[in-house]
Structure 1
Amino acid sequence: MTGLLETIRAHAEVNPHGIALEPIVSDRVTWRDLAERVTQVAADLCEGAQSGKPHVLRLDHGVEASVLELALLEAGIPVLSLPSFFTDEQVRHAVSACGAGDDCPTTPHPAPSLLPRLTARVTFTSGSTGTPKGVCLSARHMLAVAASVVEALGTGHAGRHCALLPPGILLEAVAGFFATMLAGGTYVCPPQREAGLGDPFRPDFGTMVSRLAEWRITSLILVPEYLAGLVALLERTGQCLPDLTLVAVGGAQVPVELLKRARALGLPVRQGYGLTECGSVVSLEGAEEDVEGSVGRPLGHVRATIAPDGEILLDGEMYLGTVGEPRAPGPLATGDIGRIDDHGRLWVDGRKTAMIVTSYGRNISPEWVEAALLAQPEIAQALVHGDGAPAPDALLVPASADADLFKAIAAANRTLPAYARVNAWREVAPFTPANGMLTGNGRLRRKAIARTWLDGEPAFFDELEAATWRHRLRFLTIPQVRAGLAGTISQRTYLDYLTQAYHHVRHTVPLMQAARARLLERPELVSALDEYIEEETGHEEWILADIAAAGGDADRARTCRPNPATQAMVDHAYARIGNGNAACFFGMVYVLESVSVALAQRGASAVAANLGLPPEAFTYLTSHGALDQDHMAFFAALVNGLDAQEDREAITGMAREMFALFGAMFASIAMEDQHVAA
């Protein structure tokens, strides 16, 4: 028996009807019920377990995932915890490396790699490639870290902890879930969509704040991106979260200016530091600290020292090794540069391998300059580079459609010494786990970003995403789009959307045929259009079937006139194809397919849950979304092969225009009786 189940049983003895788990969307679970469920599920798991074979866990937050996590720990069965944002390639690699193929039928079943003895959890760090590294942790180690967190904080914070980080993230599992179980608090574990995190890398902070207030949440673990979004919304709206007693922030360095803004709003923010190999938590700021920027004192399970070259070294409770490779003896070299002050506080100054040495001989930590950039509300993401150059340069992602990056750069440079000021910058598309440029907890994958944007000329598809990012952001501010993605639309609005979709989708194949007729001398484009035509033929009939299944009048939808905005979009497409470079059609493809992926992945399930409609009412969105994911990969390869500048300009121009016209179509749909998410 693990110490954790013993603790849960002790809570059940003292407070049997106290709430241990609160999933929001289903019944709450008492301590007594939790102890009984974990005991039973652990016994069932032991009966069917294969020795040493890990159990693949890839569930959304909720009672099922929580009970299973505890039961597997109790049963001594290793858990292969996979975040939902892992790519199919990363999932296949992780499952195959651990020999857990039976839990993923489409994966080959090689002989399992040896996991170190006592492995309780295998966590695959995101890494910079499709073959991430599997770190093996023992139950004793994870519970020691959780106990250290509780000891450092005291049980006074064991109120209502809400899981916001994506499922499968070790930091939330250890410092959030396990620590709450040890301390006797309530673990609030709603599905991510309920907390505004249907897409964890594009949070709906309005929904998040309203839910945190409604659920009376007292503690959170955030990555810096989530903290920045919460702070910006609270500053803009004047809302507050008075029930919070602890907001722990980790995963990446937090700009000091952001900490100051958060604390000015009354948020009880404490910065932490950790690594997967150390069970996710190494240090945490104390409540009494009067300086900003340190990551606090190391917790009881670990010791920190500084190497002669400034690298942070850690010793104490550590990981067992990686899949197929035992841990080397001695302290863990973190790769982070830092220092320990006279009060025992740890400061992280940057990454050892990312250090920039300018042509003037000045050493610059890119994280330092990035922190100054990210302190500016106009900048969502930043990567600083320029080793060997006279001064650092930056890649920037704007935070809004109207962000003034010139102003933001000037403001950031005023906070930096002359040698560290940003000299030149380039606006790029967002760094995300989906494109391989961001880890799950928000760290930049610098090598992957450099391969895309710095090592030679970027691919045209990446340039297209960057050139249209502001237009996409403006599209996403349209109330009807936001409500659709959140699922907060009425049945009438959904039927009106389908009707307008029918009136533009029925022109898809004729538009393709018009483009094909003008591109006959371009066999590679004709071939692509032929594939698209075959795929898209008949899709307008899917929409009419959905209208009928959703309670609408399909015949009326077929014969009614489209909204003027819908007609304007269609007319513009015909005009551009007929009178200009017909390759511009692929700009329309980019907009419609990328938007339909988002609507299918986030909107369809949310609308279905809100309206209680059958799956037959969503065949266009769900099926089209799945097709378009494949289409986007095909599309990227196609446009990357277009070298002519006039083709690229035509596609980019059409994409920008279509974001505006498609947005106008959404804006023309009435929203008379539904709530629009804040």
Structure 2
Amino acid sequence: MREFTSPPTASAPPVGGLADVVFDHAETGPDRVALARKGADGVWRDVTSARFRDEVLALAKGLLADGVRFGDRVAIMCRTRYEWTLFDYALWTVGAQVVPVYPTSSAEQVAWMLHDAQVSAAMVEHEDHAMTIGSVVDRLPGLRRLWQLDGDAVTHLVKAGADITDETVHRHRRAVTPDTTATLIYTSGTTGRPKGCVISHANLMFETDTAISRWEPVFHSRPGDQASTLLFLPLAHVFGRMVQVAAVRGRVKLGHQPQLNAAALLPDLAAFRPTFVLAVPYIFEKVFHAARRKAERDGRSGPFDKAVEVAVRYAEAMEARAFGTGPGPAAGLRMQHQLYDKLVYSRVRAALGGRVRHAMSGGSGMNRRLGLFFAGAGITIYEGYGLTESTAAATANPPERTRYGTVGLPLPGTTVRIADDGEVWLHGEHVFRGYLNAPQATRNAVREGWLATGDIGRLDEDGYLTITGRKKEILVTSGGKSVSPGPLEERVRDHPLVAQCVVVGNDRPYIAALVTLDAEAVSHWLAMRGKPELTPAELVRDPDLETEVRRAVIAANTLVSQAESIRTFRILGHQFTEERGLLTPSLKLKRKAIEESYATELAALYRG
């Protein structure tokens, strides 16, 4: 199939902007809980629709009093926390354009984005962020204001706006139209300088209203409860931003968690108890591997592995029934599944707070088997696909017919086309307006309304999309063989000891790989085998560890022909990190930088 369209279920409102819903919800349901905020004492406290409206209105007044005007661009450099959402809606209320900045961005990255966007003001979280901007402020002549959250910026702004009337704020809000620019989100810059994606209020309203109309029933743990989600994705990323807007528009109780690591996240999931989560595959991988390690420590790795097999088989049988190719789980399988639900699956669900029965995954590909396991364990994960340029999701698996291992069907109102060279093209009201100050890049990306994604994929007979690689990442060996590195890397990463994998081989005689290790998993692996802790230099030379990684490589090679297989690999002592310039803020690999950084190791792989 070369093209597939899903009929629309929503459209962008003909008037107004994103902030209107805050005031509408406060009018129609003032006492309904809109958000929850974690206090310094660790207790989550509800925020009603009326209170959130009052806070947005008061902050909007302060922004006007401090010189923010309609159309101004204001940067936010902060982790995911309540105040980001508050600032977003206050800025949208006065018609300003928000420029999100990753809190880990370097001074050079900050200088480029704030200069390119001609930012007039910035909100930062703490002194380190303020110093980052301060170090390049001489290159930002348009920057007039800098607010620091941990310096009590919200209180000061609210006081400053005390004399501004409500009507002044509403006059600004009423001037916002769907075509008004809401935000400039910069791409991750894997292959060059980040580009600012111009995203309108209409883009975000269509994207989120479509998601709500199609998936709202699965936001709940059970019929009739209030839907709630804990947002731990970076709000500087389009996926996190989409979740925030969808939660506010869809009356989903929204909480924030600023630390995307298991040690901080899992306790908050247990306390907040969301009914639905949206995450990247990394989170689900962490939950699975943590459960597997605990079972091994308890001497129950055998039963756990059996439970995994039962979950996968059960989910496969349910999938076959949904597509009319099978009768569903047999009686014996249902009995086994019921047994393991009490022994294993309930504990996996408890790790996500205990109430989650549905989740959505995006940002990168999820292994089919992992999706099947979670489905069999009682948590259906709807994998989707999208880009910053498509305002997040463009495809997603539907609740009633999930095809694991694919990124689903086009969102309602979206068309997916496969070009002659295999590139995925998208069309819909969520496609962005273009790149800021980059007309040629815009013309290359948007062709007569179609977004050329740069991704390679295929549509099956039912319209489900599978992403197979990136055009710019296709490797061509010196023998002329074209290889997509993504599937190989993902299969190697399936091994619990592997953190990252980079497949190389462009203009080289064969394919090779650089592999990094998961420190927590390796420590557990050493302890379970009675081995002492090893230094990074000792780890990369450990023959038993090399054997484990080799098993992962062999498993990956079953996906491809011999000419496309990984012939050799090197285990590295340290992970690729953003601080070393090897990952983007959204954790994507910077392949060119990695190859340059490890030129010596790569040369050794091809020596002789």
Which category describes the TM-score, using the shorter chain as reference length? 0.5 to 0.7
Q: Residues of 1 paired with 2:471 and 2:50: CA distance? A: 49
Q: Which residue of 1 aligns with 2:319?
A: none
Say which structure, 1 or 2, has more relative contact order (CA 8 Å, 6+ apart).
Answer: 2
Larger mean Cα displacement after TM superposition, 395-404 or 301-310? 395-404
Contact 2:409 2:464 in 1 (8 A): yes
Match of 2:267 among 206, 210, 217: 210
Matched, 1:182 2:267: no
Residue 95 (structure 1) aligned with residue 147 (structure 2)? no
Identity %: 26
DSSP-derived class of the 1:271 partner: strand
Q: Which residue matches 2:483?
A: 364
The whole-number CA distance in structure 1 between the counterparts of 2:455 and 2:74 is 33
The structure 2 residue matched to 1:416, chosen from 539, 559, 563, is: 559
Q: Is the CA contact 2:396–2:411 (under 8 Å) kept in the aligned structure 1?
A: yes
In structure 2, what is the equivalent of residue 556 of structure 1? none
SS in 2 for 1:305: strand
* Aligned residue number for residue 72 of structure 2: 53
| Structure-2 residue corresponding to 1:440 | 585
Secondary structure in 2 aligned to 1:410? helix
Task: Tell me the residue number matched to 1:269.
Answer: 381
Please tell me the residue identity of whatever aligns with 2:290. L
- The answer on whether the counterparts of 1:21 and 1:29 sit within 8 Å (CA) in structure 2 is yes
Identify the residue that residue 571 of structure 2 maps to in structure 1: 427
Secondary structure class of the residue paired with 2:20: helix
**Structure 2 contact 281–362 (Cα < 8 Å) conserved:** yes
Q: Secondary structure at the match of 1:23?
A: strand
**Counterpart-to-counterpart distance in 2, 1:79 and 1:394:** 40
Residue in 1 aligned with 2:30? 16
Quick check: 1:62 aligned with 2:84?
no
Q: Given the alignment, which residue of 55, 60, 64 partners 1:37?
A: 55
Judged with a 3 Å threshold, the aligned counterparts in structure 2 of structure 1 residues 234 and 452 are, in CA distance, closer, same or farther, namely same
1:480 aligned partner: none
d(CA) in 2 for partners of 1:130, 1:88? 16
Matched residue pairs, number?
Answer: 446
Change (3 A) 1:122 1:108: farther
Are 1:128 and 1:436, in contact at CA under 8 Å, matched by a contact in 2?
A: no
Task: Tell me the distance in 1 between the aligned counterparts of 2:601 and 2:293.
Answer: 39
Unpaired runs of 5+ residues, structure 1, are 464-678
The answer to whether residue 73 in structure 2 is matched with residue 73 in structure 1 is no
What is residue 210 of structure 2 aligned with on the other side?
148
Residue 148 of structure 1 and its aligned partner are, at CA, apart by 1.6
Match status 1:286 vs 2:304? no
Q: Relative to structure 1, is the Cα distance of residues 10 and 120 closer, same or farther in structure 2, using a 3 angstrom cutoff?
A: closer
1:464-613 to 2 correspondences below 5 Å: none
Cα drift, residue 376 of structure 1:
1.1
Normalized per residue, the structure richer in strand is 2
| Displacement after TM superposition at 1:39 (Å) | 3.0
Amino acid at match of 2:21: T
- After superposition, the Cα gap between the structure-2 partners of 1:266 and 1:412, relative to the gap in structure 1 and judged at 3 Å, is farther
Contact 2:190 2:588 in 1 (8 A): no
Secondary structure in structure 1 of the residue aligned to 2:355: coil
Structure 1 residue 16: deviation in Å?
2.1
The residue type equivalent to 2:91 in the other structure is L
* 3-state SS, counterpart of residue 495 of structure 2: coil
SS at match of 2:567: coil
Q: Distance in 2 between matches of 1:257 and 1:361?
A: 32
The change in CA–CA distance for 1:217 and 1:262 in structure 2 (over 3 A counts) is same
* Cα distance in structure 2, aligned partners of 1:247 and 1:72: 30
Q: Per-residue deviation at 1:294?
A: 0.7
1:169 corresponds to: 237
TM-aligned CA deviation for residue 257 of structure 1 = 3.0
Whole-Å separation in 2 of the counterparts to 1:311 and 1:452: 30
Q: What is the CA–CA distance in structure 2 between the aligned matches of 1:20 and 1:51, rounded to whole Å? A: 27
Question: Contact 2:512–2:569 (CA<8 Å) still a contact in 1?
Answer: yes
Tell me how far apart the structure 2 counterparts of residues 270 and 156 of structure 1 sit (CA, whole Å): 10
Q: 2:432 aligns with which of 314, 319, 323?
A: 319
* Stretch deviating more after TM superposition (403-412 or 429-438): 403-412
Deviations 1:344-363 (A, max 9, x none): 11110111121123456543
* Structure 1 residues 108 and 63: CA distance shift in structure 2, 3 A: same
TM-score by length of 1: 0.61
CA contact (8 A) 1:123 1:134 kept: yes
1:430 and 1:119 map into 2 onto residues whose CA distance is 38
* Residues 255, 41 of structure 1: alpha-carbon distance in 2 compared, 3 angstrom cutoff: same
Correspondences of 1:229-240 after superposition (within 5 Å): 229-237=286-294, 239-240=347-348
TM-score scaled by structure 2?
0.68
Alignment of 1:221-260 (within 5 A): 221-237=278-294, 239-241=347-349, 242-260=354-372
Aligned partners of 1:84 and 1:167 also within 8 Å: no
Provide the C-alpha distance between the structure 1 equivalents of 2:208 and 2:547, rounded to a whole number of angstroms: 44
Residues in 1 aligned to 2:565 and 2:601: alpha-carbon distance in whole angstroms: 25
Deviation at 1:110, TM superposition (A): 5.3
Structure 1 SS opposite 2:588: coil
Q: Distance in 2 between matches of 1:442 and 1:221?
A: 17
- Alpha-carbon contact 2:511-2:567 (below 8 Å) kept: yes
1:220 correspondence with 2:220: no
Counterpart-to-counterpart distance in 1, 2:248 and 2:70: 27
SS in 1 for 2:202: helix
Q: What CA distance in whole angstroms lies between the structure 1 residues aligned with 2:138 and 2:238?
A: 26
The change in CA–CA distance for 1:240 and 1:211 in structure 2 (over 3 A counts) is farther
CA separation in 1, counterparts of 2:85 and 2:182? 15
Aligned mates of 2:205, 2:474 — CA distance in 1: 35
**Does the residue aligned with 1:423 lie in a helix, a strand or coil?**
strand
Amino acid at match of 1:299: L
Q: 2:548 aligns with which of 407, 415, 426?
A: 407
Deviations 1:243-276 (A, max 9, x none): 1133211111222233234334333212111110
Q: Pick closer, same or farther for the CA change 1:257–1:364 going to 2, 3 Å.
A: farther
Query: Whose helix fraction is larger, Structure 1's or Structure 2's?
Result: 1
Matched, 1:297 2:409: yes
Q: Quick check: 1:297–1:346 contact (8 Å CA) kept in 2?
A: yes
Map 1:196-207 onto structure 2 (within 5 A). 197=259, 200=260, 203=261, 205-207=262-264
Do 1:386 and 1:393's aligned partners in 2 also have CA atoms closer than 8 Å? yes
Q: Is the 8 A contact 1:335 1:353 kept in 2?
A: yes
Residue equivalent to 1:5: 19
**1:219, 1:244 within 8 Å by CA — same for their partners in 2?**
yes
1:450 shift after superposition: 1.8
Confirm whether residue 310 of structure 1 aligns to residue 416 of structure 2. Answer: no
Any idea what SS the aligned residue of 1:41 has?
A: helix
Change (3 A) 1:421 1:258: farther
How far apart are 1:91 and its partner, in Å?
A: 0.9
The amino acid of 2:57's aligned partner reads: T
8 Å Cα contact 1:165-1:172 kept in structure 2: yes
Q: Are the aligned partners of 2:595 and 2:602 in contact in 1 as well (CA < 8 Å)?
A: no
1:510-562 CA distances to partner (integer Å, 9 max, x unpaired)? xxxxxxxxxxxxxxxxxxxxxxxxxxxxxxxxxxxxxxxxxxxxxxxxxxxxx
Cα 1:98–1:76 shift into 2, 3 Å: same
Equivalent residue number for residue 161 of structure 2 = none
For residues 243 and 33 of structure 1, the distance between their equivalents in structure 2, rounded to whole angstroms, comes to 27
Query: Between Structure 1 and Structure 2, whose CA radius of gyration is higher?
Result: 1
CA contact (8 A) 2:425 2:453 kept: yes
Which whole-Å CA distance do the structure 2 matches of 1:259 and 1:412 have between them?
21
**Residues 545-602 of structure 1 deviation map (CA, whole Å, 9 limit, x = unaligned):** xxxxxxxxxxxxxxxxxxxxxxxxxxxxxxxxxxxxxxxxxxxxxxxxxxxxxxxxxx
| SS of structure 1 residue aligned to 2:60 | helix
Q: For 1:46 and 1:156, how far apart are their aligned partners in 2?
A: 39
